[in-house]
Copies of this chain bind each other. A is one copy, B any other.
Amino acid sequence: MSKTRQTQATAAMLAIGDELLSGRTKDKNIGHFAEVMTLSGIDLKEVRIVADEEDAIVEAINALRARYDFVVTSGGIGPTHDDITADAVGTAFGLEVTEHPEAVELLETYYAGRDLDFTPARRRMTRTPVGATLIPNAVSKAPGFSVENVHVMAGVPNVFQAMLDALLPTLPAGAPLISKAIPCPYGEGDIGDPLRDIAKRHDGVSIGSYPRFAEGRYSTEIIIRSRDEAAIEAAATEVEAMLDSLASR
């Protein structure tokens, strides 16, 4: 089913924060990142959510960066004591974490211009593993950073999105996946068997079916994905013929 994706760049995301695991905050970054990856032709393969605990963050970063082309993290880079992502990334790479000179200059100027003290807490947001590259933050200045293939970004959704916009041109691009949606008034129980047969005959495409349950009955959206438009059309023709034959039962 995923054959068409194997030559695309692969990505993983690590969302960091106790508040996500307690249910207090509903994550909005994963869905956004997933959409942007699909539009960019990059294959998001795995997402993890872990607590603000250094061991858990280090382990997840090391597992994901070894396995996928790159990793994006969200959360834990603010100025409070529970913001430990920079330290965890340093530990994961065996790098010392220090104030990044460019980040210090950036925030010094920013806070001076707003008549705010550059407190030790705010200075915390300039800390990165040695040698990191900054990721600009168009919303509130305090930058994210990249170390090798790990890109560390904020958890606040509009800041995460701004950082991702800045990061995107530097990421490996792939041929975008094309998809075709076919609405289907039948539940998966009706279309499961014929759909499986069609999928077997069309190796170059991925055929997914996504059930909805509303007002006491199922309906389905059938999504055909490929990087080859002709292959999508060939499969779509068979799916539509199958739906027609169900309608005339």
Residue numbers of A with Cβ under 8 A of B are 1-2, 18-27, 30-38, 44-53, 56, 78-83, 111, 116, 119-122, 124-125, 139-140, 156, 158-159, 177, 179, 188-193, 195-196, 199-200, 206-213, 218, 223, 225
Contacts and interface: CB of A to CB of B under 8 A. Distances in A.
A121 B111 CA distance: 62
A79 B21 contact: no
Contacts of A79: 188-189, 192
Nearest to A210: B19
A200 B81 CA distance: 9
Number of copies of this protein chain within its complex? 2
A143 to B, nearest CB: 14
- With a 10 A CB-CB cut-off, give which of A22, A38, A51, A223 has the most chain B CB atoms: A22
Nearest to A20: B34
A37 B24 CA distance: 11
B34 A45 contact: no
Nearest to A198: B81
Contacts of A30: 27, 49
